[in-house]
Amino acid sequence: MARHDEGVVTVGRSRIGTFFANTTGIVFGLLMLFPVYWVLNTAFKPTNEVQSFTPTFLPENPTLDNFKSALGEELFLPAMVNGLIITAMAVAAALVVGFLAALAIARFAFYGRKAIILVVLAVQLVPFLALLIPLFLMMQRAQLTNSLIGVALVYLVLLLPYTVWTLRGFISGIPRELDEAAMIDGCSRPQVFWRIILPLTGPGLVATSIYGFIQAWNEFIIINTLNSPQKQNLMAWLLYNQTERGTAWGPLMAGAIITSIPVVVFFLLIQRNIATGLTAGAVKG
């Protein structure tokens, strides 16, 4: 097989070249992983090993103390619960509202459709931080600062354009013939949506909500600006934790791991969708 490769498919590719390529690939992978490995390594070290001028590349006395101390922090559990509540509210709302709009764009030819697509695309590019000042003032006036609902509302807008756009893609993937066949069989339009499109968009709904979860879970600037330390999410807790006790690296890294686990797991589940979602059109073209 290798002979075949060298001789026919890839003219001018020497065995040395392939060896060099493989080595570069492995070194690249290791370099990419190094920061991740170092976070894990640090999290399992006792304090005296963390604060050592000759760091070891594996913990000599592995311990879970850092995790215990992170979990035992006063604001850790509230932050986790807050984050889950906010994320659930934002994702659920974005999914319901976004699905309807996606349905309209994917299944109807109507006046203004193109304008709506343009808005949905353009809105994703607005640097959201730029809007933070007026949003803060609006929430202040509506007395929604320091509340979970205020943050969830902002996250909803953050997630909505992406949700509409991705669900549109999933719905477009369902052949129209299915709709037509069902209508011939006597389904009304709402029934078609309810019994055919919705169930077939299932995987798309899951993927979109996972992506929404990741976005909302990872956000910390908005919540940090709108809410007091008691009403933060885990990511913002991580930032607070940093400024208040900058040198407690062990617990910080343990906290970082706990915070990342749901995101990493979810991300790996839907990575295919994320990669294609961002560039779908281009790859196809």
Partner 1 sequence: MYAVDSPASPARAQQTPPAPPAHRTRRRRNRSDNRVPWLLTLPTLLILVALLAYPLYRMVVLSFQNMRLRELITGLTPPWVGFDQYTKALGDGVFWGVVARTAAFTVVSVTISVLAGLSIALLMRRVHSKVRIFMMVAMMFVWALPQLVAAQAFRWLTDSDFGVVNYVLTKLGLDYANHSWFVNPWQGWAVITTLVVWAGIPFLAISLSAGLTQVPKELIEAATVDGASSWQALRNITLPILKPLLTIVTTLSVIWNFGLFTQNWALRDGHPEPVYQTLSTFSYTQAFGQSRYSYGSAIAVITVLLMFGVMVFYIRQMFKIGEVD
In this structure, the dihedral spanned by the alpha carbons of residues 154, 156, 158 and 162, taken in order and rounded to 10 degrees, is: -170
**Quick one: 74 or 112, whose CB is closer to partner 1?**
112
Q: Which stretch binds partner 1 (CB under 8 A): 60-68, 77-85, 204-212, 242-250?
A: 242-250
- Residue 142: φ, ψ to 5°: -80, 5
Reading the block at residue 233, the tokens are 């999410």
Residue from the set 36, 64, 81, 149 that interacts with partner 1 by CB under 8 A: 36
Reading the block at residue 189, the tokens are 């339009």
Residue from the set 160, 210, 216, 254 that interacts with partner 1 by CB under 8 A: 160
Under DSSP, the state recorded for 241 is H
**Quick one: 81 or 100, whose CB is closer to partner 1?**
100
Cβ 275 to partner 1 shortest distance, Å: 5
Residue 253 and residue 241 in contact, taking contact as beta carbons nearer than 8 Å: no
Cβ 72 to partner 1 shortest distance, Å: 19
Residue 219: which of 126, 87, 94 has the closest Cα?
87
Beta strands in the chain (DSSP E): none
Cβ 151 to partner 1 shortest distance, Å: 12
Does 46 help bind partner 1 (rule: CB under 8 A)? no
Residue 171: which of 109, 238, 101, 222 has the closest Cα?
101
Residue from the set 48, 51, 58, 230 that interacts with partner 1 by CB under 8 A: 51
Packing angle, helices 234-244 and 249-284, rounded to 10: 140
Q: Which residues contact 234 (CB under 8 A, 6 or more apart)?
A: 76, 79, 80, 83, 217, 255, 258, 259
Residue 227 burial (10 A CB sphere; 0-12, 13-18, 19+): buried
Residue from the set 217, 223, 227, 273 that interacts with partner 1 by CB under 8 A: 217
Q: How remote is the C-alpha of 283 from its chain's centroid?
A: 22
Does 263 help bind partner 1 (rule: CB under 8 A)? yes
Residue from the set 12, 15, 16, 61 that interacts with partner 1 by CB under 8 A: 12
Cβ 68 to partner 1 shortest distance, Å: 19
User: Which residues from 81-110 bind partner 1, rule CB under 8 A?
Assistant: 97-98, 100-101, 103-105, 107-108, 110
Q: Which stretch binds partner 1 (CB under 8 A): 59-67, 79-87, 203-211, 215-223?
A: 215-223
Does 188 help bind partner 1 (rule: CB under 8 A)? yes
Residue from the set 4, 16, 112, 143 that interacts with partner 1 by CB under 8 A: 112
Does 7 help bind partner 1 (rule: CB under 8 A)? no
Cβ 85 to partner 1 shortest distance, Å: 19
